[in-house]
Chain A
Amino acid sequence: MTATLLRRVYFTIVALFLAAPLIVVAGVSINSRQELTFPPVGFSLAWYAQIFTDPEWRLALIHSVTLAVCSAAIAVAVALPLAWFLWRRIAPWANIFQVLGLAPFILPPVITALGFLSFWATVGLFGKFFTAIISHAIFFVTLPLVTLSLGFASIDRSLVEAAATMGADDRTVLKTVVLPLILPYLVSGYAFAFVLSLNEYIVAYMTIGFTTETLPIKIFNALRYGYTPTMAAVSVFFVAVAALVFGSIARFGDIRRLLGAMSSEGN
């Protein structure tokens, strides 16, 4: 009995710690006047509307979404053939590319960001929007690579064998057996990369920060000149998008498995 009570108290404290700053931000985002006060005075959703009506915030939103949609797509396009090759072939030296795919995510982000800054500056493309798309795609390639590797590892090889015995060639097997089986992993890999790209600040800042504003850059720039409630509204918007995306992954897939709850077969 005491153990259950202790656990409840412990879980509540952790939940409060994780939720507290978000609750306060949600609170200040509905203040009716442009003031940083909590509990909120009055009630207004004007600051949420401003994300879409104010030209600067809207532009930042468009930049962020474009960046996230495109970079996540490229990340998946890089990760899919690589994960497939590593699963299909025995080529130990090819693992070097897996390490390269994991490295940008494990190293401190400032380092990857600085690498991109010096690279784009040297080749003379510094500040162009597409450089941020490529940079984010490489930076987040880890996520689809990990989910897809998990997906491939979960495929029962006898299924593929059966298809091959019946005369299906590599391409047919890939299209009719392998792709449908790994589709959920592909979608979650895309979703992870999308959400993280939407939130990413330092790589975006070091590649296009001087010419273009994404939402996180816009929030940070606004923060330096003082407070506007729109910042709080945008933050709530970000939390909502993340919860929605990860909630859908959990609803339509197995999020516990993605996070390593079950050891992958074939190991």
Chain B
Amino acid sequence: MRREAPKSVADYTPLFFPALMLIVFFVVPFSTMIAVSFFKRNPSGFYTPDFVLDNYARFLSVFFGGVLGFSLMLAVLVAVCCVCIAFPFTYLLTRRPRRAQTLWLVGLLSVLSLSEVIIGFAWSTLFSRTAGITNLFVAIGLMDKPVALLPTFGAVLTGMVYQALPYTILVLYPALVRLDPTLLEAARTLGASPIRAFFNVVAPALRNTIVATLIMVFVFALGSYLLPQILGRPQHWTLSVLITDQAIYQSNMPFAAAMAVFLVLISLALVGLTLLVGRRENAL
């Protein structure tokens, strides 16, 4: 049965339910949020309808600039760390037998599906004084007594790399597993060592994939809302944490919504950039 254009209204019926659900429960809520970002805060309830730009004007403060700068810096750092670890790893993984690949993929999916709450709790335990990794260092004589490794910037970074690493590997996996093996064989025949072939042939051939993955992991890391809160100090809070904090604990919905709109714009711009990079790769 070939694909054909819908001929009658009846042909559109399967689209009805999905379209209704997506419009009512995604497009409408999204638009509501944009509308709320122009509303006035009402300390006794949620908000009162209005049209003010105050919520956006608050972006122009030193505090907000600091949070934004820190969020972007942290997300860039996470993306770079993840891709540096994941790219060689995924490459080697795709050269393993099927069974080994499947086993790793199940493990990676299991870690990826874990709640941020659980990842945060697990790392806060690992970095704690009483049950943490420093007890191991004491046992083998590296340290005198166990110490708490949190809240620190290093703890936030480690937790976020942990959260994003399986995602990075799974994003890189399709591109690497489909990589033409003759490319590498040619390099090896011409006398390149495996490591040299990897850096001089594989990595440059997938330059666009690497850039697209960096951007996707960057957006993923921007979305982390709990780890900076559990593993860091207030100065390590990111835009996502701040949005949650404003919406729930300060009950300032309009300001939270304005920040969310801003975050959407950044993410959309970057996702658009990814698509553009991907298109160029396909055109080659």
**A positions within 8 Å CB-CB of B:** 3, 7, 10-11, 14-15, 17-18, 20-22, 24-25, 27-28, 35-39, 74, 77-79, 81-82, 84-85, 87-91, 94, 97, 100-101, 103-104, 106-111, 114-119, 121-122, 134-135, 137-138, 141, 157, 160-161, 163-164, 173, 195-196, 199-202, 205-206, 209, 216-217, 219-220, 223, 231-232, 235, 238-239, 242-243, 246-247, 249-250, 255-256, 259-263
Contact = CB atoms under 8 A, between A and B. Distances in A.
Interface in B127-179: 128, 130-133, 135, 162, 165-166, 170, 173-174, 177-178
A110 B223 contact: yes
A209 B244 CA distance: 12
Given A37-B130, A114-B247, 6 more contacts: A24-B132, A100-B26, A103-B26, A138-B22, A201-B117, A235-B122
A40 to B, nearest CB: 9
B115 interface: yes
Nearest to B95: A7
A239 B108 CA distance: 11
B78 interface: no
A77 to B, nearest CB: 7
A114 B257 contact: yes
Contacts, number: 267
A239 B110 contact: yes
Chain A CB within 10 A, most for which of B21, B128, B177, B268: B21
A138 B126 contact: no
Contact of B18 (A18, A79, A108, A247): A79
A24 B260 contact: no
A218 to B, nearest CB: 9
A87 B115 contact: no
Contacts of A118: 29, 32-33, 35-36, 46, 253, 257
A104 to B, nearest CB: 6
Contacts of A163: 1
A202 B106 contact: no
5 contacts: A21-B119, A21-B125, A110-B240, A119-B28, A223-B117
Interface string B6-17: 100001101101
Interface string B262-273: 011001100100
Nearest to B161: A17
Contacts of A38: 125, 130-132, 135
Given A88-B3, A108-B223, A250 B174 contact: no
B131 A201 contact: no
A24 B127 CA distance: 10
A15 to B, nearest CB: 8
B109 A242 contact: yes
